[in-house]
Structure 1
Amino acid sequence: MGSSDEKVVAVIMVGGPTKGTRFRPLSLNIPKPLFPLAGQPMVHHPISACKRIPNLAQIYLVGFYEEREFAMYVSSISNELRVPVRYLREDKPHGSAGGLYNFRDLIMEDNPSHIFLLNCDVCCSFPLPEMLEAHKRYGGMGTILVIKVSAESASQFGELVADPVTNELLHYTEKPETFVSDHINCGVYVFTPDIFTAIQGVSSQRKDRANLRRLSSFEALQSATRSPPADFVRLDQDILTPFAGKKQLYTYETMDFWEQIKTPGMSLKCSGLYLSQFRVTSPNLLACGDGTKSATIIGDVYIHPSAKVHPSAKIGPNVSISASARIGAGVRLISCIILDGVEIMENAVVTHAIVGWKSSIGKWSRVQVDEIKVLNLVLAHLWQEKQWVLRMK
C-alpha cells in the first residue's frame, strides 16, 4: 500500500486566454479560473479538495495565462491553506498530457509516489483521498474518476467501458458519434510517475514516424494539417485510448454531483452545487439570518464580509454575493451570482441571473432570466455597456 512518508503532488490545468471562449463575456476581463463560484474563485474548489490528500507536498497550476494574472491569488491561497501553490506558465499549448510532461522535472522535485491531475473547469466533490486508496489497490499506472450520466448526454464527453469486477479501463473513446457507454470521464486523475514514460513514448513514436516516412511535398502538407506536433500530447486520445485494456488504467466511480463549467449558465448551476457542498465541508461560509438584525436567508447563501445587505432583504436559495456589493431594502434575490461592486436598489428582484461587476439595478426593477441563451445575451449587453441600470418607467 505504500509507506506513510510517500509524497503526493497535484497538478491543476487552468488553460489560457485562447480557450474557454464559450465562457465569454465573463472571461474577457478576468481569467476564467478566477471567476467566483459560491464566493470563491473557480480554481479554489479543486485546490481546497487537494488539501485533503494525505502527504500532499505541492500544488501546481499549469496554463498559458500571464503569470501576473495569478500571482496575487497564488500567494494568498498558499498562505491560507499552508500548502505551496505554484503557477507554471506554458510557452504554448502542449495538450493535457504534454503540459504535464513539459514540467516533469519540477513536478518530480519532491520525488512524489503519485501525481493528481485535475481540470479546472470541472465541478464535483473531488473524492481525491478515496481515489488514491483505490488506485493503490489497483496497482496500475493511473485511475480515472468516472460518473454515470444519461445516454443522451454521454456523447458530449469521453465515454468508457470498465470491467465491472476489477474496474480496469477496457475501452475509451472521446466524444463518439455512436453510443458506447453511459459512463464518462470526469477529468480527474491520479497517476504514478510512469505516466511520464507513457507520454514520452507517444512523443517519440510521432518523431520516429515523421523521420521514417518518405512523403511527397503534397502528402507532407496534408500530414502536417492532420497530425499534431510531437510535443502536443492529449491525455484522452493519446494515452487513455491506446492504454485501455492493458491493465494499466482503472476507474473510480463517483455517486456524487459532477458538471463541466463551459458557459455562464453552467457557472450559476455549479455555484449552487458548491454552496450545497459547503453544508458539509465549510458551513462557516454560509450566511444565516431571520430578518430581524440581518437579512432573511433561505437555503444556501454566501455573502462576502464586505458586502452590505439591508435587514429587510430576502436572500436565497443559491445566491452568492461578492465583495463590496450593496443590497437595498426589500430586495429579493433567488439563484443568482452578484459580482463585485454591484448595487441593487430598494425592492428590486433578481432571479436566475448573473449581475456583472459594478452594475446597478434600479428601484423596483425585476430581472428574471429563464433561458441560458437569454442570460448570455444579457451578460453580453452588460459587458459592452459597462453598467447596467434598470428602472421602472
Structure 2
Amino acid sequence: MKIIVPMAGRGSRLRPHTLTVPKPLIPIAGKPIVHRLVEDIAGVINQEIEEIAFIIHKDFGKQVEVELIEIAEKLGARGVIYYQEQPLGTAHAIMSAKESMSGPIVVAYADTLFRADFTLDTEADSVIWVKQVEDPSAFGVVQLNDKNQIVDFVEKPKEFVSDLAIIGIYYFKSGETLRSELQYLLDNNVVKGGEYQLTDGLENMKEKGLKFVPGKVDEWMDCGNKNVTVETNSRMLGFLHNDGEHLVDYDVKLENSTIIPPCYIGKDVILINATVGPNVSLGKGSHVVDSAIKNSLIQNHSHIKNAKLDNAMIGNHASFDGNFTSISIGDYSVLE
C-alpha cells in the first residue's frame, strides 16, 4: 500500500503561521497535521505501508523535506518527495506523483483530520471517505444506491441530493487505473475553472463500471484557518485523553501552577503562577508565567507572560506579554 499526500499549497487562510511553516506541519496535540493524518489512515487500512509520497512546492525547503521523510520512516515506510510547481487543480497535483501510482494507493489531502472505525473494503475499486454534514451545499457530496455504492458525485449542490460530504481521502485498488484516467484529463485539456479536477477522473471511472463505495468517518476536523485549527486541536486532545494517551511530558516544571486536562505539554516546558487548560497544546521549551490559558495552540520555544488567553494560536519562538485574549501571532513575533 502507498499513500500519496498532495500538500503543495501554502495555506493562506492560516497566515501568519503558514508564512514560515507549511500548513500540514502545524502541530495538532503535539504532532504535525500530516503526521496525524497518515497515522490515522494506517489505522483504518490495516495494511503495511510501503511508501508515502509527499507532493510539495520547492519553496518549502530542504528542512521540510527532511521532516516529511522522517514522518514516513516512523511508520516503517519509504518517504518520497515530489514537486508541484503550479496550482493547476487536484488531478494535476496527484499526477505530480505519477511514478508512485502503482498497486493499491490512498490519496489524502493534508488539511483535514478524522476519526473512523470502519473496515476498508479492499475488494472495491475505490473507497471514498465521507462524513454526514448538516449543510451539504458547502461541499462535494456523493449519492448512494440501495447497494451502498456511489452512483454520483455532486459539487456543492444547491438542492438537496445527499448529506454525505467528501472529506478528501480516497482509496484506489489500482493506482495504474487512476493514473491512466488522470493522464487522459491532462492530455485532452479537460479543465473546469482552469483546473484539472480529480472528480472528472472519478466520473470517467464510474462510467466504465468501476465500483465505488463510501467509507464513513465519525469525526471530520478541518485545519483551514486559525479558529477551526484551534478547535481541531481541542477536539483531538479530547479524543487522545479519552483513549488514555499520556500527553504531558514528565519533565514539565511546575511552580504554583495547575494543568487542567486535556492538554498536551511538551518537553522542557516551565509553568510559573500559571493555569493551563483545558484544551491547550503547549510546545516544547515554552515558558508560561503569570498567565491563564485555555482552548489554545502554542508552538515551540515561545514565552507567554501576563496573559489570559482563550482561542489563541501562537507560533514558534514567539514572545507575548499583554492582555489580549483571542490572538494569532506567527513565528518569532514579539508583543510586549
- TM-score when normalising by structure 1: 0.74
> 1:26 Cα shift?
1.4
Change (3 A) 1:126 1:92: farther
Task: Provide the rounded CA distance (Å) in 1 between the counterparts of 2:196 and 2:211.
Answer: 18
> Are positions 1:167 and 2:148 aligned together?
yes
Cα shift at 1:282: 6.7
Q: Distance in 2 between matches of 1:149 and 1:173?
A: 14
> Shift of the alpha carbon at 1:23?
1.7
Equivalent in the alignment of 2:180: 200
Q: State the 1:293 CA deviation.
A: 7.0
Q: Which amino acid aligns with 1:101?
A: M
Q: Which residue is 2:228 aligned to?
A: 266
Question: 1:372 maps to which residue?
Answer: none
Task: Mark the structure with the bigger radius of gyration.
Answer: 1
More helix by share: 1
Quick check: 2:91–2:197 contact (8 Å CA) kept in 1? yes
Q: Paired residue for 1:56?
A: 49
For the Cα contact (< 8 Å) 2:302–2:316, is it kept in 1? yes
Q: CA 1:140 to 1:191, structure 2 compared with 1: closer, same or farther past 3 Å? A: same
Please say if residues 315 and 332 of structure 2, whose CA atoms lie closer than 8 Å, have aligned partners that are also in contact.
no
- Flag the structure with higher strand content: 2
Residues 116 and 216, structure 2, Cα contact 8 Å, conserved in 1:
no
* 1:331 maps to 2:291: yes
Residue among 169, 177, 181 paired with 2:158: 177
Aligned to 1:368: 325
Q: Please state if 1:386 is matched with 2:333.
A: yes
Indicate if the aligned counterparts of 1:325 and 1:343 stay in contact, CA closer than 8 A. Answer: yes
Residue type at the aligned position of 2:108: L
CA shift, 1:56, in A, is 1.6
TM-score (norm 2): 0.86
Do structure 1's residue 46 and structure 2's residue 18 form an aligned pair?
A: no
2:111 partner amino acid: D
Residue 386 to residue 131, structure 1, CA distance change in 2 (3 Å): same
Q: Label 1:176 to 1:196 Cα distance change in 2 as closer, same or farther (>3 A).
A: farther
Aligned to 2:215: 252
> Percent same amino acid among aligned pairs?
21
Question: Which segments of 5 or more consecutive residues in structure 2 lack a partner in the other structure?
Answer: none
1:296 matched to 2:253: no
* CA 1:325–1:34: 2 relative to 1, 3 Å: same
- Aligned partner of 1:71 in structure 2 is 65
Corresponding residue SS for 1:313: strand
Q: How far does residue 143 in structure 1 lie from its aligned partner after superposition?
A: 0.7
Indicate if the aligned counterparts of 1:9 and 1:116 stay in contact, CA closer than 8 A: yes
Amino acid aligned to 2:159: T
* CA shift in 2, pair 1:99/1:226, >3 Å: closer
Alpha-carbon distance between aligned partners in 1 of 2:4 and 2:72, rounded to the nearest angstrom: 15
Cα pair distance change 1:288/1:198, threshold 3 Å: closer
Of the three residues 115, 128, 145, the one matched with 2:105 is: 115
